[in-house]
């Protein structure tokens, strides 16, 4: 079968170690062995899809067939090389090929495939290149198709962009030519298998103990909170932590583009946007889900991210008895977050005067928490701002906590989150809910 490969080569790859980079010779062997294993699986299956329906059985069958191919071709490897080769073959046939080890690496939070031969990852908040490569564009397209097919999506020239989700919950975006000029682009956003806790965020410097206590009290007192920040600043992670403070007795409805929140309360209803089908019909957007959620007797509504007209319905929910609701928006700062909400309300298509929109915003949103990703890759809360109301045509805000930068030393951003000395107007909500908030939290 392997006409270009000498028989009975014993231990030709003494340098093989787990996770090694494939040499050119080892890479050729992998391609030949994988094709032989695939051929045997297809011929033995005879059109029966039983193996495809059982991933465990398929992996066992791959290992058995792999051993048969090595025996038939008189191929001998040392133990390390044989184990690594089996992992590569299994990953390519049953998983996601060369990016499978990246998916298994808990330190990696984002995988960015820029064409078949350029793969980058984000590790500890910093982007770095890898030596991982696909064989060619066709190989990368097969992996993309393996991701989107199980959820009934397709990707081709007529539909060159797709959002999907892996069984693990990781968020996937794929974009192919003619939209991408450098070949297929695959981006995978990973989430921690163990949700971050408030203690984790305190330990890594995202927020202080005093601020954690204050935010916990805000959630318990049903203060409406908006998290803002740029892409990859940790908004969803922080929303997850913030939502963990919601009392277990409340009914919570979450609404997301792609389900990412990991709620621990017992009474949670999870809703997810539905994309259009192959005919371009049947789409259910975030705005429709927010409107529907209002009929589901929620105590709180959590929208993973407001991107459009659903902002108007979110404001209506906050203003009509659903106090304590939360959402996130993309922005460069707390005041920019409110301006962006104004713009999204206009996207709802309602002919509302700007002053009326601002009155809705100032009445609904009480607290804006802004996060940034620092130069060293760390994520930090840099502003906690209260929305105080309207003065004329302007929304008035005041900073309660701000991050004081202390320079850059030993590759790390220095600084700390400090109170401004101002007290929020909504402290009366704390009193009404029996929450004791010491004055020292707000003192400089």
Q: Compute the average pLDDT of residues 130-136.
A: 90
Is 2 a residue whose pLDDT tops 60?
A: no
Domain boundary residue, one of 70, 94, 118: 94
Beta bridge partners of 113: 119, 186
- Same domain, yes or no, for 87 and 184? no
Same-domain status, 287 and 420: yes
pLDDT above 60 for 20? no
Residue identified by tokens 């009392």 is 247
Q: Determine the pLDDT at residue 77.
A: 84
State the average pLDDT over residues 149-153.
Answer: 76
Has residue 192 got a pLDDT over 60? Answer: yes
Phi, psi of 75 (to 5 degrees): -100, 125
Calpha distance 100→132 (Å, rounded) = 10
Per mean pLDDT, which range of 6-20, 203-217, 365-379, 387-401 is the poorest?
Answer: 6-20
| Domain coverage including residue 77 | 24-94
243 plus 270 within the same structural domain: yes
How large is the average pLDDT for residues 201-229? Answer: 93
Q: Based on the domain organization, do 178 and 39 belong to the same domain?
A: no
In the structure, what pLDDT confidence band is assigned to residue 253 with cuts at 50, 70 and 90? Answer: very high
More confident residue, 440 or 191: 440
Residue 305 within a domain: yes
User: Residue 13 — very low, low, confident or very high, per pLDDT cuts 50/70/90?
Assistant: very low
Ranking 42-56, 237-251, 264-278 by mean pLDDT, the lowest is 42-56
What is the pLDDT, as a whole number, of residue 46? 57
Based on the fold, state whether residues 251 and 337 are members of the same structural domain: yes
Sign of CA dihedral 313, 315, 319, 325: positive
Backbone angles phi, psi at 106, to 5 degrees: -70, -20
Strand ranges, E, within 203-298: 225-229, 252-256, 268-272
- Strands 268-272, 300-303: pairing is unpaired
- Residue 288's beta-bridge partner residues? none
Q: Cα–Cα distance between 167 and 269 in angstroms, integer?
A: 19
pTM score of the predicted model: 0.80
Cα distance from N-terminal residue to C-terminal residue, the chain: 76
Residues 242 and 367 in one domain: yes
Q: What's the number of domains the chain is made of? A: 3
Strand extents, DSSP E, 257-341: 268-272, 300-303, 326-330
More confident residue, 54 or 220: 220
Indicate the average pLDDT of the chain: 86
pLDDT at 48 over 60: no
Residue 12 has pLDDT above 70, yes or no: no
73 token code pair? 């071709």
pLDDT of residue 86: 86
**Distance (Å, rounded) from C-alpha 442 to C-alpha 400?**
7
Please choose, from the candidates 267, 272, 304, the residue with its C-alpha nearest in 3D space to the C-alpha of residue 288.
272
Percent of the chain with pLDDT over 70: 92
Question: Which range has the worst mean pLDDT, 22-26, 273-277, 422-426?
Answer: 22-26
Do 419 and 395 lie in a common domain?
yes
pLDDT band per the 50, 70, 90 thresholds, residue 338:
very high
Please check whether residues 275 and 241 belong to one and the same domain: yes
Q: What mean pLDDT is predicted for residues 282-289?
A: 89
56 or 88: which carries more pLDDT confidence?
88
Q: Is residue 11 part of a domain?
A: no
Which CATH number do you get for residue 209? 3.40.50.300
Say what the pLDDT of residue 45 is.
64
């Amino acid at each position: 079968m392997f006409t270009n490969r000498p028989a009975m080569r014993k231990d030709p790859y003494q340098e093989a170690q787990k996770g090694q980079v494939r040499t050119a010779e080892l890479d050729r062997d992998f391609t030949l062995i994988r094709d032989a294993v695939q051929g045997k699986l297809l011929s033995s299956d005879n059109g029966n899809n039983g193996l495809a329906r059982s991933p465990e059985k398929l992996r066992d069958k791959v290992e058995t067939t792999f051993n048969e191919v090595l025996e038939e071709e008189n191929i001998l490897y040392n133990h390390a090389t044989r184990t690594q080769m089996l992992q590569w073959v299994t990953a390519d046939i049953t998983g996601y090929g060369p990016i499978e080890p990246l998916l298994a690496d808990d330190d990696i939070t984002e995988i960015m495939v820029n064409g078949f031969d350029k793969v980058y990852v984000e590790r500890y908040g910093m982007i770095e290149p890898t030596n991982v490569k696909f064989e060619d564009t066709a190989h990368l397209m097969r992996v993309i198709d393996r991701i989107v097919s199980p959820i009934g999506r397709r990707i081709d020239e007529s539909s060159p962009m797709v959002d999907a989700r892996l069984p693990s919950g990781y968020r996937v975006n794929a974009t192919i030519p003619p939209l991408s000029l450098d070949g297929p682009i695959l981006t995978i956003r990973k989430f921690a298998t163990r949700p971050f806790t408030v203690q984790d965020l305190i330990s890594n410097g995202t927020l202080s103990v005093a601020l954690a206590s204050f935010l916990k009290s805000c959630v318990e007192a049903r203060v409406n909170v908006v998290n803002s920040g740029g892409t990859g600043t940790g908004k969803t992670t922080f929303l997850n932590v913030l939502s963990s403070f919601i009392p277990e007795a409340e009914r919570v409805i979450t609404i997301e583009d792609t389900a990412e929140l990991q709620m621990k309360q017992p009474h949670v209803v999870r809703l997810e946007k539905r994309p259009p089908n192959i005919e371009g019909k049947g789409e259910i957007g975030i705005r429709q889900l927010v409107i529907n959620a209002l009929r589901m007797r929620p105590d709180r509504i959590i929208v993973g991210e407001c991107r459009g007209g659903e902002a108007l319905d979110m404001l209506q929910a906050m203003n009509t008895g659903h106090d304590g609701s939360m959402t996130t928006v993309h922005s460069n700062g707390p005041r920019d977050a409110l301006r962006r909400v104004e713009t999204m309300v206009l996207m709802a298509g309602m002919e509302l005067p700007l002053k009326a929109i601002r009155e809705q915003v100032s009445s609904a949103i009480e607290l804006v928490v802004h996060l940034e990703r620092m130069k060293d890759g760390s994520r930090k809360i840099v502003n906690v701002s209260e929305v105080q109301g309207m003065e004329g045509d302007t929304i008035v805000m005041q900073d309660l906590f701000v991050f004081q930068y202390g320079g850059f030393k030993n590759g790390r951003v220095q600084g700390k989150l400090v109170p401004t000395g101002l007290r929020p107007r909504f402290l009366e909500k704390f009193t009404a809910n029996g929450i004791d908030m010491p004055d020292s939290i707000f003192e400089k």
